[in-house]
Amino acid sequence: MTSRLVLGIDLGTSNSVGAIHWEDGHWSVVSDAHDKTIQPSVLSFHPNGSVLVASAARKRRLVDPKNTIYSAKRLIGRPFSSRQVQEIIPRLSYRVTEGPAQQVMVSVRNHLLSVSQVSALILQHIEKLADKVAGQHVPQVVVTVPANFNEAQRAATRQAARLAGLDVLRIINEPTAAALAYGHGMDESKTILVYDLGGGTFDVTVLRVSRGIFEVLGTAGDTHLGGDDLDERLTEAMVEAFMQQHHYDLNMNEMAILRLRSVAEKAKCTLSDKESLAVHVRELAYGPGGISLDLEYRATRDRLEGLVADLVERTIGICDEAMTLAQLRTDAVDEIVLVGGMTRMPLVQRSVTSFFSRKPVTSINPDEVVAVGAAIQGASLLGTLPASQGHVPSLLLDVTPRTLAVATVGGFCQILIPRNAQIPTEHTRTFTTGADYQTAVTIRVCQGEHRRFEKNVMLGELRLEGLRPAPRGEVRIAVTFEIDSDGLLKVSARDQDSGEIQSAAMRVVAVDEDNDSAWGTDGQPPLVDEDILGQLPDDEGTRS
């Protein structure tokens, strides 16, 4: 009889990790033929038609940069025109283009892939390694995402897993998974803070753990802050040093920049263990007469820390934000768990220790703990945690990382689900039409904390048609937001006045995150909150 195994996958920006939970209660981290548990999140499309994944692909980043894909997680679920995508494109060696509905597409050789398709190939690689370790097919998975991923990013990740042929039991937040691995089987009640600094994202989550119940008290983060940004700072410093040595601007030499980024990443990791190292890069460029120009650079830990101090300080500010949301003082935290390879950096550890006045836990592997937690959660969902060993099913009580709202008249937005609300959850609010005799409304959904719609991130829109023509304010529309256990948002609308239920599935649209319009893309007037209808002047329901 086939065992009921489950695979936890930490799909990372730089690296991905898988872990299997076995029916006897133990777990193991998946390794490849070379006993490596950390799999680079890299794909390379070889001239012979094959697709290389992980370590084999990473070796081709300098050999064939235009056909080697990396850091795709920073693109997933984002519209092509968004500020974040436009900022990262110049750092990428491969071609990124705009697809239908502003979808981000990757062009390599004769292939045009969505970011979900790219991620699917990485997930499929992890699953195949797990199959070899388990000696059987392990299709059921729990996949982790950054806590501050929005609905579109979560949906795109789930889609990637489905494209890989995986049965997704749950999408859970990375810091929550780490806390689950650390606190699994813990008898005493503790407040745990998870500081998760990876290659492309940063999250911090505060949880209360008590005998199998993991209750998230507050979460904050930045999906555009990680080790890649630290690498870029060191790369820029080496470019400047090369300019001083040879009066040659490497920014005009794409291959040289790619080589330096690779050197910067390795140097950054080395400086976590050593105080300094000599960097010598031969034939980085060629000068007059074809003479080769080399880089000589003395990299020191102090110099690196000076270059990235503001980035690390940003993470501490986000920690403070999470503590405020949790309504706790820093001395209320019992344990601090560090997650992600970047947390090996001494500056990170010192900064965390200084802010919380206590040293973080160093007994866990920061690269593997998220995947292990995902596997444990999967076993809990399948009911395969062995009770005979004292294990209890883990109950996760997570929260939504950002406020969710709809656009209303005057360019404002009305909150339906507040930030830090426990999920799963559902909330309905009643609105009315904003113009006389309109027969359709476009409901625009955003994520963010600002009262003005344009200051938040637009997630998508849905259209409700067939309304009874009537003076503004007479047709009542109930809008419902529902967030499931994966953190995925479902929006529906009902025409209450006619008594007939009309709904539309959420249509995620790719909109610039700096959008400045609270009107629907079809020109329909925005909704009016029923509670404030009587307070609006007569001309507030029409667009001037």
Q: Are the C-beta atoms of 216 and 398 separated by less than 8 Å? A: yes
Single out the residue of 221, 135, 141, 132 nearest to residue 175, CA to CA: 221
Residues 6+ apart with CB under 8 A from 361: 182, 335, 336, 337, 338
Residue 58: exposure state from Cβ atoms within 10 A (0-12, 13-18, ≥19): buried
Q: Are the C-beta atoms of 262 and 62 separated by less than 8 Å? A: yes
CA distances (Å), origin 260, targets 80, 231, 255, 302: 27, 9, 9, 20
Any idea what the Cα angle at residue 132 is, between residues 126 and 133, rounded to 5°? 90
User: What is the 3-class SS of 245-261, one letter each residue?
Assistant: HHCCCHHHCHHHHHHHH
Residue 146: what residue type?
Answer: P
Q: How far apart are CA 422 and CA 399, in angstroms?
A: 4
Residue 537's φ and ψ, nearest 5 degrees, are: -65, 165
Q: How far apart are CA 122 and CA 231, in angstroms?
A: 23
Q: Active-site residues: which are they? A: 10, 73, 174, 196
Q: How far apart are CA 138 and CA 365, in angstroms?
A: 24
Tokens representing 518?
């609270």
Q: Are the C-beta atoms of 405 and 416 separated by less than 8 Å? A: yes
510 three-state secondary structure:
coil
Single out the residue of 247, 149, 154, 162 nearest to residue 198, CA to CA: 149
Q: Give the count of alpha carbons within 13 A of 131, CB side only.
A: 12
Q: Are the C-beta atoms of 296 and 280 separated by less than 8 Å? A: yes
Q: How far apart are CA 117 and CA 121, in angstroms?
A: 7
Tell me the H-state helices in 6-54: none
154 three-state secondary structure:
helix
Q: Are the C-beta atoms of 472 and 436 separated by less than 8 Å? A: yes
Tokens representing 270?
């080395």
DSSP string, 314-354: HHHHHHHHHHHHHT--GGG--EEEEESGGGGSHHHHHHHHH
- Residues paired with residue 281 on neighbouring β-strands, in sequence order: 295
Residue 354: what residue type?
Answer: S
Q: Are the C-beta atoms of 542 and 525 separated by less than 8 Å? A: yes
Q: How far apart are CA 337 and CA 366, in angstroms?
A: 8
